[in-house]
Amino acid sequence: MSKKPAPQSGAKLERRLSPMNVWALAFGCIIGWGSFVNPGKKFLATSGTLGTAIAMAGGALVMIIIAFSYSYMVPKYPKAGGEFTFTKICFGKVPAFICGWFLVAAYLTNVPMNSTALGLIVKGIFGDFLQFGYLYTLADNPIYVGEILFACAILILFAVFCVCGVKVAGVIQTILAATLAICVFTLAISALLSSETSWENLVPYFGFDKTTVEPKTDNQSIISGVVATFAIAPWAFVGFDTIPQAAEEFNFPAKKVNFIMIIAILFGGFVYISNNLVTASVYANYPEEITRINAEGGWALLESARILLGNFGVVLVGAGVLSAVLTGMMGFYMASSRLMYSMSKEGYLPKAFSKISPKFKTPYVALIFCLVVSLVGPFLGREALGWWLEMSNIGAAVGFGFTALATIVTLKKSNEKKPFTFVMAILGTIFSIIFIILMLIPLPFLPGVNFVTPSYIMLIVWIVLGALFFAFKNKDIKAAEKE
């Protein structure tokens, strides 16, 4: 007589995420450290005030177009895994593995990357007291024991929050995302009302030459600068696509995701554009001032906030950027672990990743794995991780493209008459391909848009590792398909 299998306690994820929690997940993943530091480090020189606004508004519009494919697919397949699940159902196991493999890189890399920003935040606001115990320099970036300990402690703390239940993580994420939004909106309103700012200070509109500090005037450099900023849209807005990863944990109808995604993207676009304009608005000659601040190792947005509001401005920026970093860390912990959980259930990753905590109803093994991988980040430093992050950006574009293609296939198979969704899916596919081309192929008329050499090397390594891993797991994938 055969024994009945013992019931599995906690075998399913819990439906505890409200619409506000899910908005916070998406918005928190979209906005990170880069939206606060890149106005001075990159955006103003590359594409200026108006050029960056055009590029980011265009990027947000493209993301909304792509989001319509997600809003169609998620209610049909409200399962953890998102793009991976859609691809598997519509195209089979090989495309599904390609999609999932690149998404793992895109999501998981953002966790340690956010942790390396913590030391920079402390240094910018409180000074260099964490820079003790010098270890070595990697990619021109000095590594200190103090910054490593601080970053690792925060990584562990937020991993614990994620393991302790999706409701706990959702509430913390919502509080931090709301803090982020309030800080950015307050800073923007202050800039509009302050006598320290002027619309005339936003000139030059399309950036400047970093060597001569002269405004860009020729059409080619202006266009290439705007396109260079537009090309990073998959990196800038990656995060709204984390929503499908939590689909099994919604406590509301999945058809609401369209509105939530669009609001998160619009908030994200506003933050990028607003922070960039605020940074330039207080200087009569922002190219010279930005160049000086960068040369002194300063932080342009922080200095602008200090001029606008004194110490309160510093507090606003500090609270905003800290919330951005922590929401990114929390959000990508959640997205990475749910993606791994889904891939594990289908046999694509080790079986342990699909284990659910009986008490907390979270994929705790996947979360612990994400933590262990992320703890390596502070030892590598921000510059070395930046190459990996650049490479992993292609994962977001791959996920966008497969979701749009899956929407086209699903619409055709179901014979649904939804011409708007069909057109949006076609456009989403085209834009995804354009993003991949801009990242991979050096174009002479768009210098500096594509990967740097180390990122190409890491891309090749990741592809080779994926091919080897797929060959190793192919038997498990076939077994899962039979089940």
With respect to residue 237, please indicate whether it lies within any of the assigned structural domains: yes
Euclidean distance between CA atoms 94 and 157, whole angstroms: 36
Contact at 8 Å (CB) between 224 and 438? no
| Residue the block writes with tokens 């005339």 | 200
Per-residue pLDDT, averaged over 453-471, amounts to 91
Tokens representing 87?
Answer: 């691809």
Q: How many CB atoms lie under 10 A from the CB of residue 416? A: 12
Structural domain includes residue 3: no
Give a yes or no: residue 460 inside a domain.
Answer: yes
Q: Which of 328, 157, 353 is nearest to 242 (CA)?
A: 328
Over the stretch 378-397, which tens digit does the pLDDT of each residue have?
999 888 888 888 888 889 99
Output the pTM of the full model: 0.93
- Indicate whether 13 belongs to any domain: no
Alpha-helical runs (H) found in 127-194: 145-163, 166-193
Cα-to-chain-centroid distance, residue 480: 31
Which range of residues forms the domain containing residue 446?
Answer: 19-482
User: Looking at residue 160, which CATH number applies to its domain?
Assistant: 1.20.1740.10
Distance of CA 192 to the CA centre of its chain: 29
Mean pLDDT, the chain, integer: 91
Residue 10 lies in a domain: no
pLDDT tens per residue across span 94-104:
999 999 999 99
C-alpha closest to that of 102 among 3, 241, 228: 241
| Percentage of the residues of the chain whose pLDDT score is greater than 70 | 97
Instruction: Give the residue among 118, 92, 113, 136 at the shortest CA–CA distance from 391.
Output: 113
| Phi, psi (deg, nearest 5) at residue 228 | -60, -40
Which pair of tokens denotes residue 475? Answer: 């038997």
Looking at the 3D structure of the chain, how many domains does it have? 1
pLDDT for res 172: 96
Is 80 within the bounds of a domain? yes
Instruction: Classify residue 133 by its DSSP letter.
Output: S
